[in-house]
Structure formats: structure tokens, C-alpha cells
Structure 1
Amino acid sequence: MPRPPTLNDEEIMHDPAPPMRREVFRMTDDDARAFLRAAPFVHLAGCAAGRPVLKTVNVVELDGAWWFHGAVAGEKTAMLGGPVVLAAEELVAQLPSTFVDEERACFASALYRSVQLHGALERVDDPADKARALHALMVRFQPEGGFRAITHDDPVYAGEVKGVLVARVVPLRIDGKAKLAQNKQPHEVRALLERLWRRGDPGDARAVALIAAANPTVEAPGFLQGPPGARLCCALEPAHLDAAVALHDQAAAGAAAPEVVRRRLLASLAWVGAVDHTGALIGSAHRYLDRATGALACHIAVAPTLRAGPLADALARLLADHPAVRGDRGPAPA
């Protein structure tokens, strides 16, 4: 059976990223790694017995490499020692041609983010390293806990650790592309944000937030206009979670335990917010289904120094106009 091609030290040291046709779409390496780190799954591409192979795996980043587990026999083992590619992608929004022209089909397009990480696939044999990677995978994909820590010398896990394949991709380079209208004129970007907000399909609010973030010099459309010193965001991300929980705790101390607030935020029908010029979260508003009452509820929280200002009203307006809850008056904000 032919062995997979291998990477030598010279190749690893001298493999610059190829040029991108539109460099304005290129993600920074940090942003590309963050995207790959958050992907629910990734594709693993390589060669086995001279044939191309494509697999889907769950990965976790440890010590600068990307680790996964699998069966000790199979196509993935045939790729060990050879060059591989990890890839993840996200469709941000499908844009119909009618957004631009009423007749011509050639304006149909899509916005997306994609990342490819090139590297070498290595088998991990050290039991302690294998257990550490398996535990990290559990922490990532079952963050709520409910499992015993995995260690190589625990009798509960020793057999499983020994009998499973653990491999890692040692990165050579990473290429990320975020096509988010950065090549458009400011008036075109604003028009696109307005159309997506009005269309209101699932995912459109998040698309608006990503496009706005990728075009920070474009003046915000009317629905995203906030008071001076605040930039409204129509779809907050898990990265904002800790700061939002702190804001809600400050706004209504003791009203709900932090873990309850965290759960509500993640399960919200709509979650909007505001950041200051440094990117720090200064306001959070969300509408969610109260499990205890079965009714819709709404919470708005702003930084203590801004409670007397117009920020809470701006967040309430943005939340009420959110596509996921638009037209639903619901209860008064708490």
C-alpha cells in the first residue's frame, strides 16, 4: 500500500499563503483560528492509499494544534504522517438578484465565511496527552459538565484511552475568507443591511451584524442608529455572554442566578446589544420564553453609568423591530 506524502522541515518553514483574488476578504489569522475554534464540526481532507479522502470530525485546539479522536482502523489512520487540510464554512446570507435588479439574474450572490488550515496529521501515542485531548473535547462539546474528568491513569478510562485513536493536525498555515460586502460602496452596504433586516429570514439579523462589523466605516442604517458613544448590534454572540450576564446582574441583582441568565440569553428568540468605542459591551436586551410561566419575557440591561440616558430606549426599539419577534408586543421590558 503506498504511503501518504509527508511534509519535510523546509516545506513547513516556507509555505506562504497563496494570494487571494480580493485581499479585502482575507481574514486575519487570529479571526480565522477563532472561526475554526467555534465551528461545530470541520472537514478533514487528505489522501489514503493514493486516493482523496474527506471526513467530518470534531476538533479542539490544544498547544497550537488541532486534535480529534476516532477508530484505530480506517481511512483516517492511512492519512497519518501526510499533509491534510481542515476546513469549515458558514453561509451567512443568500442574496437574491432582486436585491439589486428586478430582472437580471446575474446579481444573485451569497455571503459566507470559510477557513482552511493546512498541516501535517500526527498520531498521538502518549496516554497522558491522549487523555488530555479527550477531556478537552468533552469540555468543549459538553460544557455543562456531568462527566468524570478523563485521565490516563483512572481505571474508569484507562482502557478507552488506550484503545482509541487520538490524532492532531500540526498547522502549517491558515487561510480565512470572509465575503461580507467589503468590496461594495457605502451606499450599497447600507442598502444591503436594510434589505436583509426587512426580509427577516432566519439568520438575517446575524448576517446584518456580521456585515456591519466587517464594514466599520460605513454609517449605520437608521435601525442601528444609537445614542452618541454607542454602536448598536442586532445579534450578539456567545463571546458577549459573560459581559451580558454581568450587566443583567448589575441591573437586577438577585433577580435570577447567573447560570439562569446565561441559559436564557443563549436560548433567546432575539438578543441585541450595544458596545462602546473600545468594543466593550454596555447594553444587552433579549426576549425569551419563560419556562416557569410559558410566557414571553423581555429583559434590558445597560451599564450603571448609562441608565439615565437614552440607551435603554434604543435597545428596546431595536429589540421590538427584530425579525424574530417583530409584531409581537409581548410584556413590558423588565
Structure 2
Amino acid sequence: MQLLGRLEIRSKEKIIEFLNHQETGRICSIDKDGFPQIIPMNFAYTNDVIYMHSHPRGEKLENIVKNSKVGFEVDRSLEFLPSYFTSPTDASQADTLYISIVIKGKASLVSDPKEKTLALNELMKKYQPEGGYEKLTPDMKVVEEVAIIKVVPITMRGKYKIGQHWDKKTRLEIAKKILARNSPTAHDTIKTMGIINTKDGLQISEEPSW
């Protein structure tokens, strides 16, 4: 229980910051047979709600109309830690550094053209921040042609494991092994762990905290 508490993201601001920097979320609705249906979606978090755009017909929309209770999940896998980092033979020592957010909420389909326009512009601003497009207005045909799913969170829970549960010596040792393994994410991972690579070797720049 003590470790689980240390893995919890306690800051709502950090949760929102993480959501705004991730490209894909997964919405889970319940189908007509009672099975969960999970769909990856682009999304934007703004004004304390989640917006997604969709084709105007489809199973997930039917699910939401019948049952507004949904789940929404976003995660980022930072680094797989092979078992041999800590044990020469024990496979159970394999681990993963990660950040994840799990939301429970109420979903609805937005009908108001102004709110649909807001959602679409927020999506464009997130995914195409460099611009190069005409800002949408409520009278545009595309606003009428797409569906907008709105999720109002009831609970938002975040977990992270980026080395905060290790002492400084262990964190540096694991960071060295991560760099030696030379995965594509290695350098970004050690930065997230609060470690910098200097000419004098690895040094802790800050405590990893969310």
C-alpha cells in the first residue's frame, strides 16, 4: 500500500498537463450485449471536459446514447526494464516505467453548433499547433457532418513510475543500464527520471515528482 501511494499523481494540474501532451486516448463504452468496447481516439481536454470527433454513425455512438457511463484512458510507456537489470535469472524482476491516467465519466453527443465548433478548434489547435488552416465557424458544413463526443470526468486518477520509489544510488545505477541498453527512448527516460548526462557522468538534477 505504501508503494501504491507513492505511485499516485496527486496534482490535477500535472494530470491535465500530461493529457494535453498525449496524442491518443482510449474510450471504453458498453455495447448492447454488455461487453466493453475500447476505441483509440484523438482527443482534446479543455474546460474540464474531453472532446473527441467521430463519424456521425457507429457502434460507440450507439453505446453512449444507451449508456452514458464511460471510461477513458491515456498512457505513456517510458521504458521497459529487463529482469537482468536487477537479477541474473529471476524473470519476475522485469518492470516498466510509465505514466497513466484513468478517467470515469459521463459521455454525451454534442448537438450545439457553437460547442461543436469549440471542440473542433481545440482539436486542431492541439494536433496542428503550427496553424496553416482556416479556423472553423459554426456555419461551416463540416461542423454539421461530424459527431462530437463529450466526456465529463467524474473521477480522474493518475499513476506514474519514473524512479521516485528508488533511492538516489539505485536510480543512477538503473539510469546507467538504461543508457547502456540504448533503446530509442533511453535519453528521454533518464530526463524524466530527473537525471542529466554531463561530461562528468550521470547526475541527479531533481527529484522525480508528479
Residues 71, 104 of structure 2: 8 Å contact kept = yes
Residues 19, 45 of structure 2: 8 Å contact kept = no
Per the alignment, in what secondary structure is the counterpart of residue 122 of structure 2?
helix
User: Is 1:160 aligned to 2:146, yes or no?
Assistant: no
Task: Determine which structure has the larger strand proportion and give its number.
Answer: 2
Per-residue Cα deviation, 1:96-144 (whole angstroms, up to 9, x for no partner): 1211122332222111111111110011111111111111111211112
Per the alignment, in what secondary structure is the counterpart of residue 171 of structure 1?
strand
User: Is 1:199 aligned to 2:181, yes or no?
Assistant: yes
Per the alignment, in what secondary structure is the counterpart of residue 27 of structure 2?
strand
Residues 112, 180 of structure 1: 8 Å contact kept = yes
- Which consecutive unaligned segments of at least 5 residues does structure 1 have? 1-18, 214-219, 233-334
Residues 65, 171 of structure 1: 8 Å contact kept = yes
Structure 1 segment 45-64 matched on structure 2, within 5 A: 45-49=28-32, 50-64=34-48
Offset of 1:185 from its aligned partner?
Answer: 2.9
Higher RCO (CA 8 Å, separation ≥ 6 residues): 2
Offset of 1:198 from its aligned partner?
Answer: 2.8
User: Is 1:105 aligned to 2:121, yes or no?
Assistant: no
> For residue 129 of structure 2, what is the aligned residue in structure 1?
143
Structure 1 segment 159-238 matched on structure 2, within 5 A: 159-212=141-194, 223-225=201-203, 231=205
User: Is 1:68 aligned to 2:52, yes or no?
Assistant: yes
Distance in 1, Cα, partners of 2:2 & 2:105: 19
- Tell me how large the CA RMSD over aligned residues is: 2.3
2:171 maps to amino acid: V
2:78 maps to amino acid: V
Could you say which structure has the larger radius of gyration? Answer: 1
The count of corresponding residues between Structure 1 and Structure 2 is 200
Distance in 2, Cα, partners of 1:163 & 1:92: 37
Distance in 1, Cα, partners of 2:19 & 2:111: 25
1:193 maps to amino acid: A
Per the alignment, in what secondary structure is the counterpart of residue 201 of structure 2?
helix
Distance in 2, Cα, partners of 1:34 & 1:93: 20
Distance in 1, Cα, partners of 2:168 & 2:124: 44
> For residue 121 of structure 1, what is the aligned residue in structure 2?
107
> For residue 303 of structure 1, what is the aligned residue in structure 2?
none
Distance in 2, Cα, partners of 1:166 & 1:225: 47
Per-residue Cα deviation, 1:169-201 (whole angstroms, up to 9, x for no partner): 001111111012322233211211122123322
Distance in 2, Cα, partners of 1:128 & 1:118: 26
Per-residue Cα deviation, 1:211-264 (whole angstroms, up to 9, x for no partner): 227xxxxxx9x52449xxxx49xxxxxxxxxxxxxxxxxxxxxxxxxxxxxxxx
Distance in 2, Cα, partners of 1:20 & 1:170: 31
1:146 maps to amino acid: G
> For residue 32 of structure 1, what is the aligned residue in structure 2?
15
Residues 172, 202 of structure 2: 8 Å contact kept = no
Residues 76, 98 of structure 2: 8 Å contact kept = yes
Residues 20, 26 of structure 1: 8 Å contact kept = no
> For residue 322 of structure 1, what is the aligned residue in structure 2?
none
Offset of 1:210 from its aligned partner?
Answer: 1.3
The worse-fitting range, judged by mean Cα deviation, of 39-48 and 76-85 is: 76-85
Structure 1 segment 254-333 matched on structure 2, within 5 A: none
2:167 maps to amino acid: Q
Per the alignment, in what secondary structure is the counterpart of residue 187 of structure 1?
helix
Distance in 1, Cα, partners of 2:61 & 2:90: 49
Per-residue Cα deviation, 1:143-177 (whole angstroms, up to 9, x for no partner): 12111110012xxx2x2211211121001111111
| Residues 72 and 182 of structure 1: CA distance in aligned 2, closer, same or farther (over 3 Å) | same
Per the alignment, in what secondary structure is the counterpart of residue 149 of structure 1?
coil
TM-score normalised by L of structure 1: 0.56
